[in-house]
């Protein structure tokens, strides 16, 4: 039984939440049962992610074929160190946000289907992290888009409809570009399996079609991830949703786009020598700068944080653009750090709202005196986001900036440092306005913040502190993950099997519906 569970470790992180989503939908009229199903599902999903992480760390890349259709014809699921880390962090965040939601999500929103949609969204996020098939990735993106739109309009307010429209238009456009890229790539190579594509593209001459496909991938994922200059939909829509939903969006959804970029531009396309690198460098710098400038003029906590998502995404892209193993390791570390910190800040924003009744910084204040615990819990992710030692953000920024110096991109390192200073400005603005200054209104007493809100904030803060104080194992993990990304042989072998090295031709036998190897590799 245990062996069976471990053997299919790569299936559970998707199978568990989708089953929970289905069960939650089955109990549509019973919100109490839905809540129970949701909580049990989230905890089991966390367990499944932990199992996958341990299995991948011990036994290397895990791969599975669905329906016994052998790769590259069937749909493969594969998990390397990066996928496993992303799934793990999704599991942690899902539980934290789920618990926060118990205190924050209103009855009305539960009635509109919060639980099935939330679990469905987590399914698609994990699916996107684990799939080894580029078209299947597109399908997960679509499911993510549909469930995310459902979550955005849960409150049925005018502002939410407006935000959702912006979200839908830009994201539909992005998935369209992605689909176009997949179609061109399929036309040029005849395969959709990412490991197979990696094998084929390594020996294919560069052509206009492939360059176009790569550019479309970058644009499609770029919109999803919030890259400059197509990030404006993000701050326009994220703050309209309920704060629980904003937190999980802020933590995960853009990072799925970033992850897809990492997967495609390390496994399939070369960044070096294709002109992609120059484009990425400009986009990364633009993303960092415009995000942080946008945040500087905002007064709504959620909008400040939304713009900071954009700015932080730039650091991750910076790592990918420099493309040395060191830089990619830095970016992987950055993603993990950022997901926890950013979601945590949104949760703190929700707690500030609960205490003061407003998201507008000008109208809030005095929390330092009335709620010192919350003030302390805000400082951890805020300082970490700004990149001050000794918290996780310092190491993340240090790794990426160090890699840019070593990669000879001094001006990018300077931009990154400058953006760090401006981030500190934004965080101190929230600190001064919401916590430090005296409240402007007549109401002097803040409402108490429920324990169910403080608990996840404290837990995520504890993770941030842990990463900050003992970064060594996390950095080693990130370096190992970067190593498997830069040299994807292990990934390819795990998906396609040992026999499928270069020189093996695989044909499709229609009678038995299984692939047969025609010609053994000629060495």
Partner 1 sequence: MSSIIFSAMARLFFWAMLAVSIFILYRGHDEPGGGFVGGLVAACSVAILALADGVPSARGMIRVHPVILVGIGLVLAIVSGLPGLVLDASFLTHQWLEFPNGFKLGTTMIFDLGVYLVVFGGFLSLVFRLYEEVS
Which of 53, 62, 64, 401 touches partner 1 (CB under 8 A)?
64
Which of 2, 32, 58, 67 touches partner 1 (CB under 8 A)?
67
SS (H, E, C) 408-469: CCHHHHHHHHHHHHHHHHHHHHHHHHHHHCCCCCCCCCCCCCCHHHHHHHHHHHHHHHHHHH
Q: How far is the CB of 9 from partner 1 (least distance, A)?
A: 12
Distance between alpha carbon 133 and the CA centroid of its chain, in Å? 18
- Binding to partner 1 by CB under 8 A, coded x per residue (else -) over 137-176, reads ----------------------------------------
Which of these ranges, 22-30, 289-297, 441-449, 504-512, lies near partner 1 under the rule CB under 8 A? 22-30
Total residues interacting with partner 1, rule: CB under 8 A: 22
Closer CB to partner 1, residue 26 or residue 176?
A: 26
Closer CB to partner 1, residue 93 or residue 500?
A: 500
- Distance CA(41)–CA(154), nearest Å, equals 21
Which of these ranges, 27-35, 49-57, 168-176, 297-305, lies near partner 1 under the rule CB under 8 A? 27-35
Q: Is the Cβ–Cβ distance between 247 and 347 less than 8 Å?
A: yes
113 binds partner 1 (CB under 8 A): yes
Which of these ranges, 25-33, 178-186, 195-203, 222-230, lies near partner 1 under the rule CB under 8 A? 25-33
55 binds partner 1 (CB under 8 A): no
Closer CB to partner 1, residue 15 or residue 480?
A: 15
Binding to partner 1 in span 114-133, by CB under 8 A: 116
68 binds partner 1 (CB under 8 A): yes
Q: How far is the CB of 23 from partner 1 (least distance, A)?
A: 7
Q: How far is the CB of 50 from partner 1 (least distance, A)?
A: 20
Q: How far is the CB of 136 from partner 1 (least distance, A)?
A: 13
Closer CB to partner 1, residue 4 or residue 523?
A: 4
Q: Is the Cβ–Cβ distance between 265 and 271 less than 8 Å?
A: yes
23 binds partner 1 (CB under 8 A): yes
Closer CB to partner 1, residue 133 or residue 433?
A: 133
Q: Is the Cβ–Cβ distance between 287 and 228 less than 8 Å?
A: yes
Which of 6, 22, 33, 379 touches partner 1 (CB under 8 A)?
22
User: Which residues does 167 contact at the CB level (< 8 Å), separation at least 6?
Assistant: 148, 149, 152, 233, 236, 237
Reported as type and span, the H/E element at residue 164 is: helix 158-189
Closer CB to partner 1, residue 55 or residue 370?
A: 55
Is the preceding peptide bond at 62 cis, omega within 30 degrees of 0?
Answer: no
Reported as type and span, the H/E element at residue 66 is: none
SS (H, E, C) 80-149: CHHHHHHHHHHHHHHHHHHHHHHHHCCHHHHHCCHHHHHHHHHHHHHHHHHECEHHHHHHHHHHHHHHHH
3-state secondary structure (DSSP) of residue 359: coil
Which of these ranges, 42-50, 61-69, 229-237, 509-517, lies near partner 1 under the rule CB under 8 A? 61-69
Q: Is the Cβ–Cβ distance between 86 and 129 less than 8 Å?
A: yes
Q: How far is the CB of 151 from partner 1 (least distance, A)?
A: 15
- Distance CA(147)–CA(9), nearest Å, equals 25
23 closest CA partner among 4, 42, 49, 50: 42
Which of 40, 57, 59, 66 touches partner 1 (CB under 8 A)?
66
18 binds partner 1 (CB under 8 A): yes
- Rg (alpha carbons) of the chain, rounded to whole number: 23
3-state secondary structure (DSSP) of residue 273: coil
Q: How far is the CB of 68 from partner 1 (least distance, A)?
A: 4
19 binds partner 1 (CB under 8 A): yes
Closer CB to partner 1, residue 11 or residue 458?
A: 11
Name 505's bridge partners. 519
Closer CB to partner 1, residue 114 or residue 238?
A: 114
Which of these ranges, 18-26, 48-56, 102-110, 134-142, lies near partner 1 under the rule CB under 8 A? 18-26
3-state secondary structure (DSSP) of residue 63: strand
102 binds partner 1 (CB under 8 A): no
Residue ranges binding partner 1 (CB under 8 A): 7-8, 11, 15, 18-19, 21-29, 64-68, 113, 116
């Amino acid at each position: 039984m245990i062996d069976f569970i471990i053997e299919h470790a790569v299936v559970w992180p998707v199978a568990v939440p989708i089953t929970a989503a289905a069960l939650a939908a089955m109990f549509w009229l019973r919100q109490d049962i839905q809540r129970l199903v949701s909580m049990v599902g989230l905890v089991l999903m966390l367990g499944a992610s932990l199992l996958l992480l341990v299995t991948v760390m011990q036994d290397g890349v895990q791969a599975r074929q669905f329906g016994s259709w052998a790769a590259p014809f069937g749909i493969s699921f594969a998990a390397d160190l990066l996928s496993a880390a992303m799934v793990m962090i999704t599991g942690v965040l899902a539980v934290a946000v789920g618990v926060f939601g118990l205190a924050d999500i209103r009855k009305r929103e539960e009635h509109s289907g919060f639980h099935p949609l939330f679990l469905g969204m987590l399914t698609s996020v994990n699916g996107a992290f684990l799939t080894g098939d580029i078209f299947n990735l597109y399908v997960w993106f679509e499911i993510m888009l549909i469930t995310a739109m459902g979550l955005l309009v849960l409150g049925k307010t005018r502002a939410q409809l407006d935000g959702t429209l912006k979200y839908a238009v830009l994201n539909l456009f992005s998935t369209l570009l992605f689909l176009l890229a997949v179609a061109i790539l399929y036309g040029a190579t005849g395969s959709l399996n990412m490991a197979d594509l990696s094998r084929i593209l390594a020996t294919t001459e560069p052509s206009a079609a492939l360059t176009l496909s790569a550019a479309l991938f970058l644009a499609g994922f770029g919109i999803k991830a919030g890259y400059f200059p197509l990030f404006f939909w993000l701050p326009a829509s994220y703050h309209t949703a309920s704060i629980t939903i904003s937190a999980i969006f802020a933590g995960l959804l853009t990072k799925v786009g970033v992850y897809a970029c990492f997967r495609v531009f390390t496994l399939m396309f070369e960044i070096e020598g294709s002109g992609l690198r120059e484009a990425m460098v400009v986009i990364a710098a633009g993303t960092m700068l415009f995000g942080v400038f946008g945040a500087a003029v905002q007064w709504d906590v959620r909008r400040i944080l939304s713009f900071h998502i954009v700015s932080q995404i730039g650091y991750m892209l910076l790592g990918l653009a420099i493309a040395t193993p060191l830089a990619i390791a830095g970016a992987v570390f950055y993603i993990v750090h950022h997901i926890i910190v950013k979601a945590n800040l949104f949760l703190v924003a929700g707690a500030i709202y609960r205490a003061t009744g407003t998201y507008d910084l000008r109208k809030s204040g005095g929390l330092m005196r009335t709620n010192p615990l919350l003030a302390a819990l805000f400082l951890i992710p805020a300082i970490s986001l700004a990149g001050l030692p000794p918290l996780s953000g310092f190491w993340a920024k240090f790794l990426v900036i160090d890699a840019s110096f070593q990669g000879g991109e001094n001006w990018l390192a300077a931009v990154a440092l400058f953006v760090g200073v401006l981030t500190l400005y934004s965080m101190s603005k929230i600190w001064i306005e919401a916590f430090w200054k005296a409240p402007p209104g007549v109401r002097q007493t803040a409402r108490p913040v429920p324990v169910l809100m403080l608990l996840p904030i404290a837990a995520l803060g504890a993770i941030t502190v842990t990463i900050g104080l003992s970064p060594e194992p996390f950095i080693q993990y990130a370096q190992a993950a970067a190593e498997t990304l830069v040299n994807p042989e292990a990934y390819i072998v795990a998906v396609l099997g040992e026999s499928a090295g270069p020189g093996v031709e695989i044909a499709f036998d229609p009678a038995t519906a299984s692939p047969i190897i025609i010609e053994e590799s000629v060495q």
